[in-house]
Amino acid sequence: MKAVKEISYEIVETSNIFDPRNPELGKIPGGRRCPGSRLVVMDESVDRLFGSRVRKYFQFNGIAVKYLTLAGGDEHKTVDQMLRVASRLTEVGTDRVGTPPIAIGGGVVQDVVGMAASLYRRGVPYVRVPTTLLGQIDGSVSAKTGVNYEGCRNRLGTFAPPPRTLIDRSLIATLPERQVRSGLGEALKMALIKDPYLFTLLEEYGGQLVADRLQDTGTAAASRPGREVTRRAITAMAEELQKNLWESDLKRIVDYGHTFSPIVEMTALPELFHGEAVAMDCVFSAVLAARRGLLPPEQLRRIIATVRGIGLAPTHSMFGDADVMNQALTDTMRHRDNHQYLTLLRNIGDTVFADDITEEEIRATARAIDRLHHHPETNAADLCSTRLAGTPH
Ligand SMILES: NC(=O)c1ccc[n+]([C@@H]2O[C@H](COP(=O)([O-])OP(=O)(O)OC[C@H]3O[C@@H](n4cnc5c(N)ncnc54)[C@H](O)[C@@H]3O)[C@@H](O)[C@H]2O)c1
Ligand SMILES: [Zn+2]
C-alpha cells in the first residue's frame, strides 16, 4: 500500500496581532469551526506582558477560549509540561479539527504545545504564534515538535507542522537583549550556510539589531535591517525545509551549528541559550573547516568578528574540551544513521559535506578553540596553524 499526504501550511506576516480588529489570530485554519472552546496556551512572560490584550481580543471577537500558562526556558521543555497541555485539551473539550489550540510563546512553548497537539487524538491541528526571535525565524518554519528527555535535546518528539503560523515582529520589542542575541545566532547560521547578503547585514548591523530589537526605526533601508534579516532568515529556512520536510535526507545544511552544540547545551543548561550554543558550534565548525584548508582565514576572522558584533561569545570552555567534542560528534552521528554528514564552510554562504573527520582533527580544533577561549585576541590565521594546535596555552 502506498498513501500520499500533501502538506501545506501557511506562515502569515501580520502586525498589531492583538488588535481586536485584526482577524488573523482568531481564524480557524481550513475554516471548519466547532462550537466548543479553543485552548490558548501562553508563555508566562507573554501572559504577563500581553495577557490582558489577548483576553480582550477573544472577548471582543466573541471567540470562546480557555487558557493555560506555561513557563519558558529549556529546563521546562519536559514530558510533564507536554502532558499538562494534553490534560487541558481534554478539560476544554478540544474537537478533532474545529477547535485548534493556539500556542503563543517562544520555541519552548511552541515545541511543547505542538507535541501535545500532534499526539492528542492522534493529531489535532494547532496555530503557532512565536514570540521570540528564535521562534520566529527558525521554529516558525519547522515541522518539528518535541521535548527534552533523559538529558537529551528533543529526544521525544514528532513531525507535525501546524497549518497556520502568525509572525508579528513587534512582539520581539519586549524580548530581553540576551534572547535577541540568541535568536540572531540562528540567523547567523542561515547566513553562513546559504546567504552571504544576510551575513553582511549581520556583520554591519549586529549591534544595532540587538539594540533596536529588530524594530524599524525609520523608513530608510538602513533603519530597517531587522525586517530584512527576519525575512531573509525565514525564507532561507523555508527553502531548505520544503525540499526535505520529513528529513528523509539526513544530509542537511540547516544542521550547521547543531552538531557539537546539543551536548554542551544540555550539560550547561540553563547557563546557555539555544542560539548562543548554536553560534559557538558555528565558530567551532568554521575553525575546523579553516584548519582543513577549506575556509579562508579571512572569512573565519569575519565570522568571529560578527559573532562578537552581535554580542555573542564565540566559545565556551566545553567547546575547547576535545573529549566532549568527540563525544558530541558520536552522539549526533546516531541521529544521522551513523554518518557524520558534517556541514563545512568553503566560504560564507557555500558549504560541503564531510564524512571523514578524524578524532585528531576534532582534538586539534578543540585546542585552537581553547586557545581562543583563553586568549580572545588570537587571530584567525593562528587558529588555523598546525603549530598552535600542539602548544598548550
Ligand atoms: N521545532 C523546531 O524546529 C525548533 C526550531 C528552533 C528552536 N526550537 C526550540 O526552541 C527552544 C528555544 O526557543 P526560545 O529561544 O524561543 O526560548 P523560550 O521559549 O524558552 O523563550 C525564551 C524566554 O523568552 C521569554 N519570552 C518569550 N516571548 C517573549 C516576549 N515577546 N517578550 C519577553 N519575553 C518573552 C520566555 O518566557 C522565556 O523566558 C529550544 O528548545 C529549541 O530546541 C525548536
Ligand atoms: Zn536551532
- DSSP 8-state secondary structure symbol assigned to residue 159: B
Extract the C-alpha cell encoding 159. Answer: 513531525
- Decide which of 1.25.40.10, 3.30.950.10, 3.40.50.1970, 1.10.3210.10 is the CATH code for 10-174: 3.40.50.1970
Nearest Cα to Cα of residue 267 among 147, 105, 101, 148 = 148
Non-local CB neighbours of 21 within 8 Å, separated by 6+ positions:
none
pLDDT in tens, 229-265: 999 999 999 999 888 888 888 899 999 999 999 999 9
Cβ atoms within 10 Å, residue 3: 4
CA dihedral for 389, 320, 369, 251, sign (positive or negative): positive
Q: What is the largest CA-CA distance in the chain?
A: 71
CA of 139 from ligand 1 middle (Å) equals 9
| CATH 3.40.50.1970 domain range(s) in the chain | 10-174
Task: Report the share of the chain in percent with pLDDT over 70.
Answer: 97
Among all bound ligands, the one having the nearest atom to the CA of 144 is: 1
More confident residue, 222 or 113: 113
The number of the ligand 1 atom at minimal distance from the alpha carbon of 108 is 19
CATH H-level, domain 177-390: superfamily: Dehydroquinate synthase-like - alpha domain (1.20.1090.10)
- DSSP 8-state secondary structure symbol assigned to residue 271: S
Nearest Cα to Cα of residue 119 among 94, 86, 70, 90 = 86
pLDDT class of 393 with cuts at 50, 70, 90:
very low
Q: Whose CA is nearest to atom 34 of ligand 1?
A: 175
Q: Whose CA is nearest to atom 30 of ligand 1?
A: 175
- Whole-number mean pLDDT of the chain? 94
Q: What distance in Å separates the CA atoms of residue 64 and residue 148, rounded to the nearest whole number?
A: 32
pLDDT at 105: 98
pLDDT at 300: 98
pLDDT class of 7 with cuts at 50, 70, 90:
confident
CA of 160 from ligand 2 middle (Å) equals 17
Say if residues 239 and 196 touch (Cβ distance below 8 Å): no
pLDDT in tens, 28-37: 998 888 888 9
Q: Is the pLDDT of residue 389 over 70?
A: no
More confident residue, 393 or 113: 113
pLDDT at 388: 59
Pocket of ligand 1 (CB under 6 A): 43-46, 49, 72-74, 77, 105-109, 111, 131-132, 134-135, 138-139, 142, 144, 154, 171, 174-175, 179, 182, 274
pLDDT in tens, 35-56: 889 999 999 999 999 999 999 9
CA of 40 from ligand 2 middle (Å) equals 25
Residue with cell 506555561: 70
pLDDT at 9: 84
Q: What distance in Å separates the CA atoms of residue 336 and residue 349, rounded to the nearest whole number?
A: 23
| CATH 1.20.1090.10 domain range(s) in the chain | 177-390
Q: Is the pLDDT of residue 386 over 90?
A: no
Please list the active-site residues. 144
Q: Is the pLDDT of residue 355 over 60?
A: yes
Nearest Cα to Cα of residue 13 among 216, 131, 166 = 166
Q: What distance in Å separates the CA atoms of residue 145 and residue 116, rounded to the nearest whole number?
A: 9
Extract the C-alpha cell encoding 155. Answer: 529526544
Among all bound ligands, the one having the nearest atom to the CA of 188 is: 2
pLDDT class of 356 with cuts at 50, 70, 90:
very high
CA dihedral for 201, 207, 208, 213, sign (positive or negative): positive
pLDDT in tens, 120-174: 999 999 999 999 999 999 988 889 999 999 999 999 999 999 999 999 999 999 9
pLDDT at 220: 72
Among all bound ligands, the one having the nearest atom to the CA of 183 is: 1
CA of 98 from ligand 2 middle (Å) equals 31
